[in-house]
Amino acid sequence: MTRVAVRSDALLAVGALTQELADEVREEAARLAAAIPGVTPGVEDFWALGSSGTVVAAGAPLRWGLLRVQAAVIRLVGPEGAWGEALALDALAVHVRAAARVYAGVERSVAAVVDGVRAAADLAARGGWLTDGLGAVPVVAPVSPTVGVADLPGSSGGGRVTGAAGLVAAGEGLDGGRVRVLETTRGDGGAAWVVVVPGTQQWSARPGPNPFDVTTNVRAMTGDATVAAAGVAVALTAARAASGRSTADDPVALVGHSQGGILAAALASDTSFTTRHRITHVLTSGAPVALFAVPPDVRVLSVEHTDDPVPGVDLTPNPSSSTWVTVRVAHGAAALDLRSHGRETYVRTLHAAESAPHGTVEGLDAWRTSAGDFLGVPVRSVWEYEVGRR
């Protein structure tokens, strides 16, 4: 899977662009000032003797008009105009470059932490702990779904998932290493796919048959391939084959809570997976996903509670862009509280956010609109697969 490159490079690019804009504004101001002739009239320019020997104003309207133009130009290009704007952009460029240097230091620290965790995991693997490679493979088997279209959690009558809260709720009942795949009906009659990935189910550091465990948490966060992610990929491929209606252009949404969100972001940033499936949307809740290089053409919605410690374990804020929306909600007490991490708690938070007046939660309405292939359309089929490690 692909990991995020240094984001301070992006800040440096913004700083350079800001400086370039400052220089352009300054140059335009200089050209504007040069285009207006300097008018500094003396008394002789304004006064002359009339035919009767009286002093009259000669050409005063023209001169005063030029003075007014000159004053207007000074306002446009002076300290309160373009020159001032250029100086403000200069100052902003300095601040952005300074922030880039600070962020680069943070990134180096985070990279060192991740490398340290990976080294510790590799050391533990010698004793059979936190090891997910060395011949381990996913075993994926179809199982009878625990829910059907009519009783799908998070759906309204008629088997339609109406919002992001419904997609998170669709993860209810995924125990024993189960992955749920939904086939929805697009407006043009084609198929779209939702893959719902469960969170951590086993807490032993020694890997067992259920790959949704602590080993997967550690290995996925350090950028390693995992049996769980490979199993999710196999489950999606199997469901699409079983449908018989799948085409290469079908959109796919990856949904996951906690570890499920980690795996969703990991798969969305894995080119070996995205070359086989057209991932258009990712929805994570309570998941540390900032370090994954999800492509910018994938619409990501990440929901986090401020008192949930789990989303912050990667020590990095999520990217801020038009295609990655992070909804951070103050929930419960100010102190960290693991009770805020529950999937059902995130479902309630999303229900409240989606019930708020249009535009209340920045970016949420746009994400929901873009996810029209998965929301508010009939769910055609539900598949479940049990993913194991061997």
137 shares a domain with 87: no
Q: pTM to 2 decimals?
A: 0.74
pLDDT > 70 fraction of the chain, expressed in percent and rounded:
77
Residue 79: its pLDDT value, please? 72
The reported pLDDT for the residue numbered 253 is 98
pLDDT tens digits, one per residue of 250-271 = 999 999 999 999 999 999 999 9
What is the pLDDT, as a whole number, of residue 283?
98
| Number of domains forming the structure of the chain | 2
Query: Is the confidence at residue 133, as pLDDT, over 80?
Result: no
User: Which of 85, 100, 115 represents a domain boundary (last residue)?
Assistant: 100
Of 52, 83, 100, the one marking the end of a domain is 100
List 382's β-bridge partners, or say none.
Answer: 182
CA distance 289 to 257: 11
Same-domain status, 220 and 181: yes
Q: Which amino acid is residue 357, in one-letter code?
A: P
Q: Do 154 and 270 share a domain, yes or no? A: yes
Pairing of strands 178-185, 379-389: antiparallel
Q: Are residues 23 and 81 in the same domain?
A: yes
Residue-level pLDDT at 223: 85
Q: Region 2-16: what's the mean pLDDT?
A: 59
The confidence score (pLDDT) of residue 28 equals: 77
Residues 356 and 245 in one domain: yes
What is the arithmetic mean of pLDDT over 360-365?
Answer: 94
Q: Note the pLDDT of residue 110.
A: 56
**How many other CB atoms are found less than 10 A from the CB of residue 199?**
23
In a domain, 200, yes or no: yes
**Structural domain contains residue 385:** yes
For residue 230, pLDDT beyond 60: yes
* Average pLDDT value for residue range 141-155: 94
How much is the pLDDT for 307? 93
Tokens of 230: 């490979």
Which range is least confidently modeled, 77-86, 153-162, 296-305?
Answer: 77-86
Which residue among 48, 83, 100 closes a domain?
Answer: 100
Mean pLDDT of 157-172: 92
The pLDDT confidence band at residue 56, using thresholds 50, 70 and 90, is very low
Based on the domain organization, do 302 and 252 belong to the same domain?
A: yes
pLDDT surpasses 90 at 389: yes
Residue 51 has pLDDT above 60, yes or no: no
pLDDT level of residue 48 (50, 70, 90 thresholds): very low
Asked whether the predicted pLDDT for residue 311 surpasses 60, the reply is yes
- For residue 195, being part of any structural domain is answered with yes
Let me know whether 160 and 46 are in one domain: no
CA–CA distance, 151 with 74 (Å, rounded to integer): 71
**Domain contains 107:** no
Higher pLDDT, 7 or 86: 86
pLDDT at 2: 42
- The reply to whether 33 falls in a domain is yes
Q: What does the pLDDT read at residue 333?
A: 66
The mean per-residue pLDDT over the stretch 53-75 comes to 58
Q: Domain span at residue 236?
A: 130-389
**pLDDT number for residue 6:** 45
Q: Which of 44-48, 103-107, 186-190, 383-387 has the lowest mean pLDDT?
A: 44-48
Per-residue pLDDT, 211: 96
Mean pLDDT of 162-180: 96
Say how many C-beta atoms besides its own lie within 10 A of residue 367's C-beta: 20
CB 278 within 8 A of CB 252: yes
* Angle, helices 8-35/82-125, rounded to nearest 10 degrees: 170
Do 44 and 167 fall into the same domain? no
Q: How far apart are CA 251 and CA 277, in angstroms?
A: 8
Inter-CA distances, 368 with 107, 322, 364, Å: 32, 13, 6
pLDDT above 90 as % of the chain: 54
Q: Which pLDDT tens digit goes with each residue over 318-355?
A: 988 899 999 999 876 667 888 899 999 999 999 999 99
Q: How many CB atoms lie within 10 A of CB 336?
A: 15
> Using an 8 Å Cβ cutoff, are 167 and 253 in contact?
yes
pLDDT beyond 90 at 146: yes
Mean pLDDT of the chain: 83
pLDDT of residue 306 exceeding 70, the answer is: yes
Give the model's pLDDT for residue 107: 59
pLDDT at 40 over 60: no
Task: Calculate mean pLDDT across residues 216-239.
Answer: 94
Residue 3 lies in a domain: no
Residues in the chain: 390
Is the domain of 372 the same as that of 268?
yes
Beta strand 251-257 with 191-197 is: parallel
- Asked if the model's pLDDT at residue 287 lies above 90, the reply is yes
- Looking at the domain assignment, is residue 125 inside a domain? no
Determine the pLDDT at residue 269: 96
Q: Calculate helix-pair angle for 227-243, 214-221, nearest 10 degrees.
A: 100
155 shares its domain with 272: yes
Same domain, residue pair 353 and 271: yes
3-state helix, strand, coil in the chain (%, to 5): 45, 20, 40
In a domain, 119, yes or no: no
Clarify whether residues 32 and 168 are in a common domain.
no
Q: Is 118 exposed, middle or buried (0-12, 13-18, 19+ CB in 10 A)?
A: middle
CB neighbours (10 Å) of residue 389? 23
Structure tokens at 163: 């919002």
